[in-house]
Amino acid sequence: MKKLTPKATLWLVLILVMVWGINWPLTKLALPDTPPLFFSGIRTLLGGLILLLFALRHRETLRLRQNGWTYLVLAIFNIAGYYGLQTVGLRYLPAGLFSTLVFLQPILLGLFSWLWLGERMFPMKVIGLVLGFGGVIVISSGGMAGHLSVLGIVLGLASGLCWALGTIYMKKKSKQLDSIWAVTMQLILGGIMLNGVGFATEKWSDIHWTNSFIAILLFISMFVIAMGWMIYFKLIDNGDAGTVGSYTFLIPVLSTIFSMVILKESLTLTFVAGLVLIAGSVYLVNTASPGKRGNRSLKTDEAKSCPNA
């Protein structure tokens, strides 16, 4: 396989962070035209079907009988839980704030890895956890202009929690899974789950198939979910998972900027202070390691988790 040049790697990382950052305000923009669970189910199912075209080239690594239960558990946490709670929660909070809460996932991941996987807790990780907790307190105390919904905050944290738990489970099963099949199957299974719950609790007729809604749906399915994770795996295969991990702290920041431009959301200095704390927290948690080699190994394992853009 041809190795990526540093310039190509940088461009791919920038594209990845940009599409995952713009996902949040675009999702909020689409919600008036669709029930949230149907929107989550349709976009993840479409993304999974797109990835299926690539995964079918490696049919032998699917191993459905061996990995079927694992795919199902990953779908419950990383798709049904993460995307379902995310899309519902965006109805209660500004997109920039909500994405910031969800991207506490690396902080939760650091804590769970220490508790359940026996990974060492380095001083910089501890500092990162403290910063992240402080950032949540600052933002939850009224960082965004206007009313803050307690339910929205809970849904945002719960969404990040599901992603963290799914990542831990993925790390425990990573040796037996092919990355492309793991993501493809959980997207398809999770999309089916979300659409099933949608049919039970929502009305398909409530979807307004406007041109703007269709455009956002296709963009998110193709670029945020399918293309975004294809790029991610390309970077991982080229040994650049550590680089990707070190840039994930930019996603909630870019989400806030895009939300200000697209949704005309406003913010206060208190929100900026909380955002800086959380950004610093995620950065420290992702980069804390006793050595470069160990850090890269950890990032590679974490990166095999579900799409969490």
- Top pLDDT among 161 and 174 is at 161
Q: With 80 as the cut, is the pLDDT of residue 199 above it?
A: yes
pLDDT number for residue 299: 46
pLDDT in tens, 101-154: 887 777 787 778 778 777 777 788 778 778 877 876 676 565 455 567 889 889
Tell me the CA distances in angstroms from 113 to 79, 97, 120, 186, 249, one per residue in order: 21, 26, 8, 22, 19
Do 27 and 90 touch, CB atoms closer than 8 A? yes
pLDDT number for residue 208: 97
Q: What is the pTM of this model?
A: 0.79
pLDDT number for residue 57: 92
pLDDT number for residue 207: 97
50-64, 143-157, 188-202, 220-234: least confidently modelled range: 143-157
Cα separation of the two ends of the chain:
27
pLDDT number for residue 140: 59
pLDDT band, residue 193 (cuts 50/70/90): very high
pLDDT number for residue 264: 81
Helix, strand, or coil here: 5?
coil
Query: Average pLDDT for residues 168-197, to the nearest whole number?
Result: 90
Give the whole-number percent of the chain exceeding pLDDT 70. 82
Give the whole-number percent of the chain exceeding pLDDT 90. 36
Q: With 50 as the cut, is the pLDDT of residue 294 above it?
A: no
- Top pLDDT among 220 and 246 is at 220
What is the chain's mean pLDDT, rounded? 81
pLDDT in tens, 244-286: 555 666 777 787 788 888 888 776 787 788 778 877 877 776 6
Q: What is the DSSP string of 46-70?
A: HHHHHHHHHHGGGGGG--HHHHHHH
Q: What is the DSSP string of 250-278?
A: HHHHHHHHHHHHHS-----HHHHHHHHHH
Q: Name the DSSP class of 148.
A: -
Q: With 50 as the cut, is the pLDDT of residue 10 above it?
A: yes
pLDDT number for residue 293: 43
Question: In 192-299, where do the E strands start and end?
Answer: none
Amino acid 86 reads Q
Task: In whole angstroms, give the CA distance from residue 92 to residue 144.
Answer: 12
Query: Average pLDDT for residues 144-171, to the nearest whole number?
Result: 83
6-10, 44-48, 175-179, 199-203: least confidently modelled range: 6-10
What is the enclosing helix (H) or strand (E) of 110? Answer: helix 105-116
- Top pLDDT among 197 and 102 is at 197
pLDDT number for residue 213: 97
pLDDT number for residue 74: 92
Q: With 80 as the cut, is the pLDDT of residue 200 above it?
A: yes
